Structure 1
Amino acid sequence: MAAVTTWTGREANALRQALRLSVTGFAEHLGAARRTVAKWSSQGEKVQLRADMQAALDTVLARAAPDVLERFEVLRRRDTSGAFADVAGPPAAANADTDKNGPGSDSDGDVRRRKFLQGATASGMAALPGVTPLLDALVSQPMAHKSDPVALPLRQFAHDVAAAKAAYQACRYEQVLGNLTALVPALAPTRSEAEGDQRRRVDALASDLYHVVGSVLLKVGDRGMALVAAERSARAGSASRDPVAMATSARIMTHALMSNGHTRQARSLAENAAGALEQETRLMSTDQVAVYGALLLRGAIAAARSDDRDTAEAMIDEATRAAARLGYDGNDRWTGFGATNILLHQVNIALTLGDAGTAITLARQVPLDKIRLAERKASLFVDVARAYAQWGRYERGLHALRIAYEVAPEELRCRPAVQRIASDLAALSRGHVRAAVVEFAHRVGIPV
């Protein structure tokens, strides 16, 4: 086994998982602060360890048993950096056009990212057949098999956007891609035929439309083009002059920024957008309260990814007050917001901070019958599978993946992040558990 020349958070976390220690246990083993070890877990290779910690980890690695060394090598080699990081682009709208007539872009940067994803699709990283047509529509590339797009009646356009949102939340991603590929080209002519309040209504719908585009592109791993879609959602929301549309677009922008590594900007955006929505509307409607709470949850996750535990907890507390004000688990303005949704985010935050045991404890408290959306329920079980994998409970991790597949088959087949969990389970487990993982992966179409 090759020695570790420089320990970063990524290698340190791989050793912790290979030893099957919790963050607290690993901190005690090294004589380090728990917060320090949690930072290694959340920030990965962005953190280079101090000299004394480098020496301590050298010693732990040298004394490790052969099975620990084998697991460490598997975890160390796995790709956790993300295949699209080099094409993500900056957090600002540098790659977006300035067309005042509505969202749309045909910049060279967009085309490069589209071509990159086409190559990735061919290699199996984004296996949905509808991804490339959507990207063609997103960068305004002509499609010979399609006629020129025509304007849709406003009611039809609103219905189709809502259908795309519903299909996304049901994890029917192939259907979503088909819907979006037709809707994106129809946006410009639909907007050009609208005037006054109707045009602002189209802009609000466009904000929702690009929100779905960004969300599904994040699912398949194209973080660069997801950021482009998020920028268009933000421009459309601003053009609509609808404070809820503007706040909703900030949700997908926060998610896209986080996925591209801009966690501090994402936290700041979520916090500012939530504050602006509260100030402008006084949160007088259920939509306003739900979007406000959902923004705080996105901000809490961003804070956790920056190892800012205090801010994450403060935003969770404020979101909890918003959920109490709302009074039910709903799906207002497509947020899925409510007390149960807060608990789902707490599971993810614990996992982000490296607390796999805490994540499992919280997951056991979730009332599954109150999760109405397939996407949220599947994501919960994916988080549980990841927590069990970190904890060394591989058979339980496989069980969680099986439940996620029963809830939403496309959630497992389409997400590179889920495929990595399955690959980790196959690489780290042994005997009948490994055979079961491989059989499951092959049966559902996950490469391992």
Structure 2
Amino acid sequence: MIETDVLVVGGSAGGILAALSAKKTYKDKKVTVVRMTKKVMVPCGIPYIFGTLKDTAKNVIPDSMLTNAGIDIIIDEVLKIDKDNNLAVTRENGEIKYDKMIMATGSLPLMPTFIPGYDIENVYPIKKDEDYLKIVQESINNANDIVVIGGGFIGVEMAEQIKALDKNVTLIEIADKLLWQAFDAEYSDMVEAIIKQKGVVIKTNTKVTKILGETKVEGVELENGEIVKADIVILGMGVVPNTKLAKETGIKLNEKGAIVVDEYMRTSAANIFAVGDCAEKKCFFTRKNVPILLASTAANEAKIAGVNVFNLRLVKENKGTISAFSTKIYDTAFAAAGLTEVQAKKEGFDIVIGEFSTMDKHPGSLPNAKSIKMKLIFSRYSGVIIGAQISGGESVGEMINILSLAIQKGLTASELNTFQTATHPLLTASPVSYPINSAALDALSKM
């Protein structure tokens, strides 16, 4: 029998950071990670395997992160958990005795069982498994016509990367906008325009009714009767929590099938925590359950669980999911945090919008300068920021992190208008027109 102080089940972003946080906090404790895959993929880097990296090996998280910290890794599958006796039963290594467990079993691709043909050859959901992704990559390289179903981040990024290989790509989304869960219409429209300009065929407000082919894909049939030719179908329709093991253990799940946790990431089972995609997410603003499954969110939860696994040291730090996103579509970055304007109004918030556009270098005539477009959403009477959306150059990726912290800390339009910035001609917008300050000032003028 193997014995350990902390057993982490799952080895992607949540599992890695949970193990590292536990080991750094409780240096004398033995920490062990059990995972099913020999190598761990960078989750958000998977689309870029196909068009940019062209090699799965370039998208691997090195095990040295764990082993250099003194953490043991076991490649195996946990089949059963005896929560009363603190035992995990594995397929190859028998029983593992633990004092504390952190479940980080992640998520599984949503399989559209309601679409006939979803299970024929050359229909590929996106899985975080290197051997599987090599098969997908080889198939894409040998194909000409690819249909991507789903216009969220994975679908959009997959479409962009596959198009870079000079393939015929059709992106199909059942909603009326791409990335509609993260952005308001004006930003979604920008994304769509960029992708269309690069030659991707986009079909929004479109439902796939059947994937055609006797044994392997030949095309997809749409609700209007149109048939789109396809050698491969990529499923980017979202993910669901991977909680079969938790359910069989008797751990409480919510109505969406995610593990119920408190603010310290504790489950209903004594000595068992859960983090990442398998754990439930509550909206920062409304406390409603939300299906926001992000590696960055998993990382935050993992740090809370790891530090608190033996003693509660981080008190009430998990205040809910802010839903911070960023992506880059060709040469334009897009990012969002918090509520969109549509979501805020739907939830009943009385809001004020602050907007501003400028260049990300000063003067704007400098090489590689790009236009920044920013939209900030504030509560009208308190002035507290509740949402942000940005498009522009690469500085967008860090500005949204500033705004995510501003949301987390409840900063006001006045505070954002006067917050002090470090600016440089080659790195940022001008200090007289820094977009966060200026968009906040625009909102203040409307309050």
TM-score by length of 2: 0.25
- Higher strand fraction: Structure 1 or Structure 2? 2
- Higher helix fraction: Structure 1 or Structure 2? 1
